[in-house]
Chain A
Amino acid sequence: MNRASARLGRFALCFAIFACIVPESGSAQLYRFGKNKVQFDEFTWQRLETIHFDVYFYEEERELAAFAARAAETSYRAVERQLAHTVQRRIPLILYSSHIYFEQTNVIPGMLPEGVAGFTEFLKGRVALPLSGSYAEFDRVLHHELVHVFQFDKIRRTLAERGITDMNRGPLWFSEGLAEHLSGTWDSTGDMIVRDALFAGRLVPISRMAAIYGSFQMYKEGQSICDYMAARYGPDIFARLLDNWWRAETFAEIFAVTTGEKLSDFDEDWSYELRKRYLPDIETADPPSRMAEALTETGYNLKPSLVPNVDFADSTDTFVFFRNVKGYTGIAQARIDGTGEVEIVVEGERSADFESLHPIEASLSVAPNGKHLAFVGKYNGRDRLYVWDMETGESLREHAYDELVALSSPTWAPDGQRLALSAARRSGQTDLFLVDAFSGELQPLTDDLSHDRDPDWHPEGEQLVFSSDRADGDREGEYHLYLYDLARAEATRLTEGPFVDQQPSWSPDGKWIAFSSNRQRMFDIYGLRVEDPSSATRIGLRRFSQTLTGVFDPDWTRDGQSLLVTGFEAARFHVFRFDLDDGQLDDLELGALPEQDISRWDLQLVDLEDDAETTISLREYERRMSIDVAQSQISQDPLFGTSGGVQIALSDVLGNDQYYFILSHIAGSETGFFDGLNVAFGRQQLARQLNVGWGLFRLNDRFTSTFGRFVREKRTGGYVELSYPFNRHDRLTTRLSLRHADIDREFEGRKLGGWLVSNHLAYTHDNSLWIPTGPLEGTRYSLGIGQTVDFKRSRPFNITIFADLRHYLRLSQRTSLGVRYLGVQSRGDVPEFYALGGSWTLRGYGWRSLWGKNLILANHELRFPLLDRMIFAFPFGVIDFSAFRGALFVDAGNAWNDEFNWRGSIGAGTRIALGGFFVLRLDASRRTDFSSIENETRWDFFFGWDF
C-alpha cells in the first residue's frame, strides 16, 4: 500500500488526540465532516501464533488463517533470503476474508479504496490484507507486504545502529517497485501498463516519478526499474542498497555509492532498454483504437454488455457498461454503432444504495427481454444483487444474503427468470450460485476453495462457462475456462496451459466462447469453438485480436460478427467494437487437457490446535495495548509563560480500542502548580457500528478563544460521546458532558461557575468527491443543537443551533461551483460566541475579527484549474506541484450580538497542493457592503483545503 496513507494516518492520529479528548465548550466544534468507516460486522478475533507471526483472524476465516500462517512463514524465509535480513520482532498479520470486511479495519484510520489489496502500517509494523477470492493473489500480496516489513526494518536498524534517528524510507517508487519485484514475476499487467506508457509517450523517468506518485503506473514502473536493477547489478543489489542506506541522505547518492554509477545514467539506460524491448512490437500489434471502433471517448469505460434488442423498429442495438467520467462510477447505456448520446442508467457511489458498483471485479448482464439489468452494488457493508428495470429506471428486486459478503458478475439464464453469479462466502471462499431473480432463492453450484468467477450462461442450454483457478495447484495465478452443466452438476475443463483465461462469453449461436487471455503475453481476445455444450466437445481455438496494450471483457453483438470489448490505451479504459474478420484471425492449436479429475485445492491446511510439529498455536485474542504516539512538547509564550506536556495514544493491535492521555502544565506566574495542571484521559471503542467514546478531564484553559477573546475556564469532569454512522455518508453524533467549571469571561466582566451539563446532537452527511485542493462535487451538511445547563441551580446557560450546508456543483471535468451556507445562533444567559474572518470563512476581514452569538455566512466560489503541474527545478532537487488552481469568490455574512448588517467581499485566489495533504492558499479580496466596493485590496495567505 502506499505510504502516504500511513503518513496521513499518523498525522490524523496526532490530530485526533486533541479532537477526541478535549471537550469543547462550543457546539460548532461538535461536527466534523468526512466519510464514515462503518463497522457493519462484528468479529470475534483469535490469534494464531507461528514462529515469526501473530496471525489475527475470526472464526469464519479459519481455513484462510491456516493457509496464511504457512504462506507467511514461507514468504518470511524467502524475503529473509532475498534481503539478507532478519526481522527480530513478531509481525502482526491481520486477515480479512473479504475486501468488504477489510474496508472496516481500524488498523489505520483512513478510508481504504477497493484498489488497495493490503497494507503495511509502519507505526507498529502491522500487515493487514483481505482475501480477494484467489489464494494465489493473496499469497503474492502477503509476500509484497512482507517485503515492506523487511525493507523498512532493515532501513530502521541500519540507521539506528548508526545513530541516525531521521527515518528516510526512500522514494515510494523504489519501495513499491521492490515489493513488486520480489513478490512476483513481470507479468502481462506490467507489460500492459509500461508498454502503454511507452507508446502513449507517458513513460515517466525516475527523475520525475513524483508526477505519478502512488499510481498503479508508479508501482509497475518501479517494478520494471527494480527488475532492470537486478538484471544489471545482480539479485543482491537490493540487500546492498539497504546496507548502504546510512551512507547518504538521498536515494541517488546511496545508489551511486553502491553501484558506482549515477542514477540519472541508470535512468536513461532503463528507458532505453524498455524502448528496445517494446518498440518492435508495433510491427505486429496495434493499439485498440487502430483495430477497433472506439464507442466511448472520455473517462473510464469498461465491462460492456449487449442489451438484447426487442424493439425491431430500431435496428441499432445498445450496450450497458460501467462509466466513470467525473469521479463517480455509474452504469451507462450507448449504441453499438457509436452514434447518439451516452445515457446514464444508474448513478452510483453518491449514496448508500450504490456505495460501490465494483467496476473492476463485477460485470453487467441484461435479460433476454432487454429490460432487466442485473448488477451488483454495495450497500451497508454487504453486496446486493439488483434487478433493475431499464424502462422505468427503478429497482425491481434487491437481494442480499447473510452468508454471502461479496457478489459479482451476474448472468441471466435464457428464461429471464434465473441468474448465475459468483459470490464470496463469509469465509472468503468464492463459488458459483444460482439465484431466482425475483424470489431471490439461492442455490450453490460449487463449494470449494478455488476461485470461481465470470460465469456466462449458454444462450439456449443449461450450461455455464466460467473461469476458475481450480487447477492452479502451485498457486501461480493461472485461470482456465470450465463448463458447468446444471443437469449433471459437474464442471468440465475447457482450456489448459500457464495462462489467465477469463471473462468468457458465449456467442449468440452457442458455438464460440470468446474470452480474454494472456496466452501470447498481452491480454487479447480468443475464441474457443465448442460443438456440443452438453458434452463440452472442443473443436478449435482462434485468436481474435492482437493488441499492443490489451483488451478484456468480450461480449458478442447480436449477429455474432462483432465483439464489444474493454480496451486499455493511453492509461484509460474504453469500450471498443471490433468486427471479426476471418482473414485476419489466427487458428491456434488446442492443447491437450490433463486427464486428472478436477479436485479441490490442496492448501496443506494445518490443524489450528497446538501442534509442536507445525509450530502453529491457537491463542485467544488478548487486547494488548501498545503506543501509537508518544510525544512531548514545551512552548514559551511571552504572555502566559512556559507550558509543556506529553501526549500518549495507545491502541490494541486491531485499532478497535484506543486510549488517549494528555498531561501538561502551564507554568504561569500567577498560577499554582495544581492550578496549571491539565490532565485528560479518553477512550474510544470502535469495534462496533456504534462508536463509543468517554473520558475524564481536568483542564485550565487560558484562552478558550473561538472568537479571538480571552476566556479562562477551569473544567473538571467527564464526557460520553456516541457516534452512529448509518452508512458511509451519514452519521448521528451525540455528546454528553458533565463538568464543574469556573469561567472568567474577561471581555464581559463576568465570572461564572457551577456544575454544567452539556448535550450536543448533530447529524452529518458527506458524499463529496475530492481533489487535492478540496471538494469538487457532492454535498456536505451538518445540522445540530446543543444545550448547556447549570444543573445544580437549574439555570440554563445556553442553547445553540447550527446548520452548515455545502454543495459542490460540477461544471466541467475540473471546474466546479462551491457554495456554503452556515448559520449559528446561541441563546441564553451565557451564550457561546462564534467568530468570522480570514481565509477559511469571510475573506477580506481579519482572522476571527468578527464575533458574536449569532453568525451567518454565505460563500460562493468558482474553482477552476490554472496549471495541471508546475515543476520547480532547484540545484538541490525538483519540487513538483500537482495542482495549481484558481478561485473567484463572493463572500457575505457577519457575526453579531445585537445589530446585524451584511459584510461581504469579492475576490480571487490561488491554491497549490503540496504532497497531497497540504494546500497553500492565497486570496486577494476587496470588501463590499453590496452597494459599493472598497478600493483597498486585502490579502489572505494561509493553508488549508477549500471549504
Chain B
Amino acid sequence: MSTQPSVRRGPSTLLWLLLNGLVLWLVVGCGRGTLYVPMDSGRGNWLSTGGGPGGVAALEGGPQPPLELLWSQNTGAAPVGGALLAGPLVLQATQSERVYAFDLVDGQRVGRRGSKAAVCGPATIAGRFSETLVLSEAGRKPRLRGYDRRTGKVAWEIESSACAPLVGRSDTVLSVTDAGNLLALASDDGSQLWVTALPHHPSTGAVFTDDVAVVGGADGSVMALNLEDGSVRWETRLLDGVAVRGQPLSTADQVFAATGDGQIWAMSRDGHVEWSAGVTGLPAQGMSLMGEVLVVGTSDRSVYGLSTVDGRQLWRYEAGGIIRGAPATTSTTVYLGSTAGYLDALSLETGEQVWTYELDAPVRSSIVLAKDLLTVTTQVGTVYLFAAQSALR
C-alpha cells in the first residue's frame, strides 16, 4: 500500500505561508536589510555629545551623580563602539552583524537590523536631521553604507574598507580607510566630496572641529586637513616609530593626541606642540575634556586628569580594571567604565570617586552623554541608560 501525505500543500497554502512569513518578517524586523525605526524618531542631538569614540564625550551641565538606572537591555553580543543617542532612540551596533534600536524612554527594542557583513568599526549618525546611520561593514566586499533610519532602507553605499571610527555631521561623513585615505562623503547621498591620500598610514579615525579634521598616523604624526577640500593644513611628528593611539581630540583652541608609549600631547590649532605628559599603560580609545581638565584612561587601570594648560597631572584615579573606552565628562563629573565591570563617577576637580554602579560585565566601549542621560554598553551587550536623579525629580 502506498502511503500518501495526509495534507496536500497546494499553491494556495504555500502562498498563505509566504504571506505570513513576509508579514512576520516586516513586523519583527529580523530579516536582513530591515531596520524598523519609527518614522518620527526625530532629530538627534548626538553631535553635541559625541555619541561614540569619535567624538568628545563631554557635555556642559550633563547628568550629575547619583544616577538612576532607567532601563537596561541586552543585545546578546559585544558592542562595536558606544551607543548612539538619536532623538528618542538609542542605537547600538554589535559584533554579531546587527544593529539594535531601543526606545529611549522605556528601553523597548524597536528595531534590529542585520547588516550584510560584520560591522567593522564604530558607527555614526549623520545628516541634517540625523537621519542617516552610517556603518562600515567588513567582509569580502567591504562597504560603507548609509541607512535612512526613517525607512530602514539603504540610502547609499560605496566600496570602502574602513574599520576606524566614523564621524559625521549634518552634511559630511568622514572615514579613514584601510588603504590610508581620508574620505569625505556627503551624508545625504554618499557621494564623494573629496579624498586625500594620507602621507602616513593612519592609526586613528578622524575627528573634526569647525573646518578642520585631525587624523593620527602609525608613524607618530598628527595631520590636520581642511574640511572643505581635504588639503593638508599642517602635520606634526610627535614621535618617530610610535603610533598615535586612540582618537585624537580637537577643540577650538587645541588638539590632543596620545601615542602608544603612553605620552599625551597637546598641540595648538596650528600644530605646534605645547606640552607632553606621560601616563602609565596604553591610552584608551579616546579622551575627554572639560574646561581645563583633559581626562585620559589607560590600560594601567588608571584615569588621569591633566591640565590642558601645561599637561600637569591634576589627579589620578585607580579603577578596578583597565580603561579601553573613552570616559565622558560633565561640568563637574567624569564618568568611566572599566573591565572591572563598574561605572564610576569621579569628581572632575579632584578625581575622587563620588558614585559607582556595578554593571553585568566589563566595559570596553565609550561612555555617551546626552542632556541628563548617560548610556554605557557592557561587553556582553547590555545597554544601560541612566538619568540624573535630579532630572527625574
Contact = CB atoms under 8 A, between A and B. Distances in A.
B138 A247 contact: yes
Given A80-B299, A82-B282, 9 more contacts: A82-B299, A84-B281, A88-B362, A233-B218, A233-B242, A234-B261, A236-B261, A246-B118, A247-B120
Given A86-B339, A231-B241, A234-B260, A81 B299 contact: yes
A433 to B, nearest CB: 45
Contact of A80 (B77, B239, B242, B322): B322
A623 B76 CA distance: 33
A261 interface: yes
Interface of A: 77, 80-86, 88, 161-163, 231-237, 239-240, 244, 246-247, 257, 259-261
A84 B299 contact: yes
Contacts of A246: 118
A82 B339 CA distance: 15
Contacts of A261: 201
A236 B339 contact: no
Given A162-B118, A239-B282, A261-B201, A233 B322 contact: no
A162 B97 CA distance: 8
A163 B280 CA distance: 33
Interface in B219-251: 220, 239, 241-243, 245
Contacts of A259: 201, 218
Quick one: which of B201, B218, B220 has the most chain A CB within 10 A?
B218
A640 B245 CA distance: 61
A520 B298 CA distance: 38
Contacts of B220: 234
Quick one: which of A77, A84, A85, A237 has the most chain B CB within 10 A?
A84
Contact of A233 (B96, B97, B163, B243): B243
B389 to A, nearest CB: 31
Given A86-B322, A162-B95, A235-B261, A247 B163 contact: yes
B87 interface: no
B95 A161 contact: yes
B145 interface: no
A247 B163 CA distance: 9
B162 to A, nearest CB: 11
B95 to A, nearest CB: 5
Contacts of B299: 80-85, 239
5 contacts: A81-B298, A86-B362, A233-B243, A235-B260, A247-B163
Interface in B262-296: 280-282
B113 interface: no
Contact of A234 (B97, B242, B300): B242
Main secondary structure of the interface of A (DSSP, over half): helix
Contacts, number: 84
Interface of B: 77-78, 95-97, 118, 120, 138, 163, 178, 180, 201-203, 218, 220, 239, 241-243, 245, 259-261, 280-282, 298-301, 321-322, 324, 339, 362, 379
Contact of A81 (B138, B260, B282, B379): B282
A260 B180 contact: yes
A235 B242 contact: yes
B180 A237 contact: no
Contacts of B95: 161-163
Contacts of A163: 95-97
Top 9 closest A-B pairs, CB basis?
A260-B201, A234-B260, A236-B260, A234-B242, A86-B339, A84-B299, A161-B78, A81-B281, A234-B243
Contacts of B260: 233-237, 240
A172 B118 CA distance: 28
Nearest to B198: A260
Contacts of A235: 242, 260-261, 282
Contact of A85 (B78, B201, B301, B322): B322
A234 B245 contact: yes
Given A81-B300, A84-B282, A161-B78, A237 B243 contact: yes
A257 B180 CA distance: 10
A237 B96 CA distance: 26
Contacts of B241: 231-234
A180 B220 CA distance: 25
Quick one: which of B78, B241, B259 has the most chain A CB within 10 A?
B241
B129 to A, nearest CB: 33
A82 B322 CA distance: 11
